[in-house]
Each structure stands twice: as structure tokens, then as C-alpha cells.
Structure 1
Amino acid sequence: MNEKKEKMMKFERIAEKRVSDVLKKMQLIGNLANKNNYEYTDKHVKQIIDSLENELKALKNKFAEGSTEKITEFKFKS
């Protein structure tokens, strides 16, 4: 097998695992919407969604342009 094919197989294997992990984590975040278990404000929701949308934009840019910007922590703003 040539090197290009091996790299593609490695990409596919790792991407499937990582994307599946993110989808599961997003579903867990979605569970936070249950008002029977949690109290939150619209401000909390906006900050969570804004943070996730910003990271998705950064991900799109990485594949489009090769950007390396990383934000690895989320904190609520006062």
C-alpha cells in the first residue's frame, strides 16, 4: 500500500472516532436543556452556542486555509 493511501486510511479512522466523540459530547450538552434538572438563563445558552459556533468556524477555516488557532477551554462570562 502506498503512503498516500495509508495516510488517508489513518485520517478516516481517526476522524470517525473524533467526530463520533464530539457528537456524543454535543448530545450531552443538549441534555443540559432539561429545565427539570437545571436552571440557566438565555445568557448562558447564548454563550454556550456562541462558543460552539466559533469553534466550528475555526474548524472550517483549518480545512480551508490551514489555520492553527485553538481555544480549548470554555468559561461563562460574568
Structure 2
Amino acid sequence: MQKGDKNETSRERFRRLATLRTNGVLKRLKVLGNCSNRNAYEYDEEDINKIFSEIERKVKEVKAKFHFPKKRDFKL
């Protein structure tokens, strides 16, 4: 399916967008890994812990959105 295809189902749209966005995240993580080059950058254990604590916190937050649907307003 192409972007904006009127016949695209919600499942197909999810798969297309989730794939693109996941690949984007993975690419950015790979780029972050380039900062590990000690010949080019100076950092310490505290810096590493801050980076990965924040990444892990955000992953947990986003993952929870998939497991616990948003609370909706009451409707009769």
C-alpha cells in the first residue's frame, strides 16, 4: 500500500507506519552508538547512565500506551 491509499485498512496503516517509525528509532540509536568512540568523545559512566535511563524510561512509557488504552470520557 502507498501512503494515503484510500483502500488501506487500519491494520495496513499501522504496519506501514510502525515499520517506518521503528526503523527510524533504530537508525537514531545506531547514530547514538557512534558517540561511544572514545577517540572522538569524552564521557563518563554518569553520562552513559543518564542517556540510557532516559531512553529506557521513554520506551517503558510508550510501551504502556500499547497495553493500557487511554481512559475515555464516560458516554451513555
Normalised to the residue count of structure 2, the TM-score between the two structures is 0.78
Match among 35, 57, 62 for residue 54 of structure 1: 57
Aligned structure 1 segments of 4 or more residues deviating by more than 4 angstroms: none
1:60 CA drift (Å)? 1.4
Match of 2:13 in 1: 10
Structure 2: give runs of 5+ residues left out of the alignment: 1-7, 71-76
Secondary structure, in 3 states, of the residue corresponding to 1:35? coil
% of aligned pairs identical? Answer: 32
Match of 2:23 in 1: 20
Normalised to the residue count of structure 1, the TM-score between the two structures is 0.76
RMSD over aligned Cα atoms: 1.2
Structure 1: give runs of 5+ residues left out of the alignment: 68-78
